[in-house]
Structure 1
Amino acid sequence: MRVFNSDGSEASMCGNGLRCVARYACELLGKQQLSIETMKAVLAVEQTEDIFENIPTFKVEISPVSFAVKDLPFNANSETFINQELKELAPGLTFTAVAVPNPHFITIVDSEVLASDVQEKLSTYVNGKNPYFPDGVNVSFVKLLESGSIFVKTFERGVGFTNACGTAMSASTLVTCLQGENKVEENIAVYNPGGKVNCQVHKNNDTYTIDLIGNATYEFEVQVELNDALTAFSTTSKKEFPEETVAYRAMQEACQQYAKNYI
């Protein structure tokens, strides 16, 4: 699997994209489990119990996980950057830098900071010309909800603010476990502007992996002429999947209402 962002840049991995590829490939091949090769690793995927009524759900492995700043890369004055301030950029906030393998810069905030323009200003800066992140970085602000539930808002490198970033939700779950807000090996509900996923962090000695569990929803199927797609994109046919779209919208509305009660 290869993933390209809307600006043409190639991502190391895409957790949401991996779930979608997992469903497509599993159904095409008649399998419940597969291994899918990505840029940095071969990852296990499988169909699992529905996350919401009538929502086809897939669990995918998110790894490798690294806290070494050189793997983002991040020009810091230490080999790792875990729950530390970067006062020049965001005084009063503590961040953790982690590659999964996409680079992420994550902080836990309150509702006031989440609703402010701090994230947009910071994210725009570190994804432009700056001395800290030469290749840019995904920036996530995390709000703790009730026990076992978090809300994640992500500014995605090469994209901007997004309804959901799979690797960001996975990395954010890991950060909350590192800070004692959640526990490894337990199911964590991760809400986002687009809906929700579940994540589980696993630890083996000093090595972490994360399970990302969520929907893989067909919206439509199209046929294209390849030569046309390389110039002026056009479709020769289009098939909608309204029954899945309706089910997903029901989940989205329920999740948004739940998160709204805590933000």
Structure 2
Amino acid sequence: MAASQTTFYKYHGTRNDFVVIEAGAYGVDAASVSQLCARHQGVGADGILFYTLGGPNAGFDARMVIYNQDGSRPQMCGNGVRCLARHLVEVLAMASPLVIMSDAGARRCEVSPGQVSQPWEVAVEMGKPRYSLGAEALAFEGRSFRWHEVNMGNPHAVIFEGADEAFADRLGALANAGHPFFEEGVNVEFVELVGDNHLRVLVYERGVGRTQACGTGACAAAVAAWKEGLCELGQPVRVDLPGGSLVIEQRGVELWMSGPAVAVFSGKLAADWPPAASEL
């Protein structure tokens, strides 16, 4: 479907990057989403984030729908919701705090505009996690891995094991290839404790692969660390990811995530985008 000079905005949250487009301005199908996300043929992104504005009685300021590189639709994306919150405040002049509705439910956002030398920061209410310990160890390459099941509106398998990128890619691919433990796929976090209430995390995302950062993955890692007694309950947890750091904290029964939201550029898609398959 022709884009008719669709305006887009490019953001990233700890290098997890997104194209933000107002819904209705662009035809959505798996092929066009994948083309737009392509690094050498499109704008380039980990995902596409579409939004609609809420009406006077909607109970939310905007609704968010996100698509991964492969065209799949996750229920929630922590880095993405931070980027959209900045867009709503900076570009559309909305007031903070605001509420963004996702497929996983409403998310309240507190936006702190950046100064000359400071980035925009957004705190997001990530909801109440659902936790259980994996019933069986995950067997892989002759080893068994104990894993923690955490649902943050999307599924996560948290493993307290340091991993290099190649190993993370192999195990993550296995978990997302129809594994009986994860029939609908799963986000996999490889977690190391590096200090008091301080984690280092590598993430393999369902529908994307290994990414620079994952907001819900950082939350899942913190939840599992609290459950394991590796981090102190009631204290904020710093989570270092390849793309930067996030802070996860408990406010009552809800989790909150804080981190940067960076505007990169904006532009317009060509009127004949996406190109025909023969032009790719």
Report the TM-score, using the length of structure 2 for normalisation.
Answer: 0.69
- 5+ residue gaps in structure 1? 68-79, 233-263
Once the two structures are superposed, what CA deviation does each residue of 1:44-94 show, in whole Å capped at 9, x if it has no partner? 0011487x9511100011124223xxxxxxxxxxxx425x65153473432
Q: How many residues align?
A: 212
Residue 188 in structure 1 maps to residue 237 in structure 2: yes
Greater share of helix residues, 1 or 2?
A: 1
Q: Secondary structure of the equivalent of 1:29?
A: coil
SS at match of 2:88: helix
Divergent runs of 4+, >4 A = none
CA distance in 2 between partners of 1:183 and 1:154 (Å): 23
Spell out, residue by residue over 1:3-23, the C-alpha distance to the aligned partner (whole angstroms, 9 max, x if none).
Answer: 000010001010000000001
Q: Summarize deviations over 1:87-108 as a string: whole Å, max 9, x none.
A: 5347343210111011100011
Contact 2:113 / 2:119 at 8 angstroms: preserved in 1? no
Aligned residue among 98, 107, 122 for 2:159: 107
**Aligned equivalents of 2:269 and 2:170: distance in 1?**
39
Question: Which position in structure 2 is the counterpart of 1:136?
Answer: 185
**Cα shift readout 1:185-232 (whole Å, capped 9, x = no counterpart):** 32221111111111113453xxxx21110111001011235x533446
| 1:47 partnered with 2:98 | no
Match of 1:4 in 2: 67
Aligned counterparts of 1:105 and 1:164: Cα–Cα separation in 2: 15
What is the correspondence of 1:81-160 to structure 2 with a 5 Å cutoff? Answer: 81=133, 86-89=137-140, 91-109=143-161, 113-115=162-164, 117-160=166-209
CA separation of 1:224 and 1:116: change in aligned 2, threshold 3 A: closer
1:228 corresponds to: 272
**Which residue identity is paired with 1:40?**
A
- Which residue of structure 2 aligns with residue 35 of structure 1? 99
TM-score of the pair, normalised by structure 1: 0.73
Partner residue in 1 for 2:59: none
Structure 1: distance between partners of 2:140 and 2:231: 27
Contact 2:156 2:217 in 1 (8 A): yes
Identical amino acids, percent of aligned pairs = 28
The match for 1:172 among 207, 221, 224 is 221
Query: Residue 178 of structure 1 aligns to which amino acid in structure 2?
Result: K
CA 1:39–1:64 in 2, change beyond 3 Å: closer, same or farther? farther
User: Cα RMSD over matched residues?
Assistant: 2.5
Give 5+ residue unaligned stretches, structure 2. 1-63
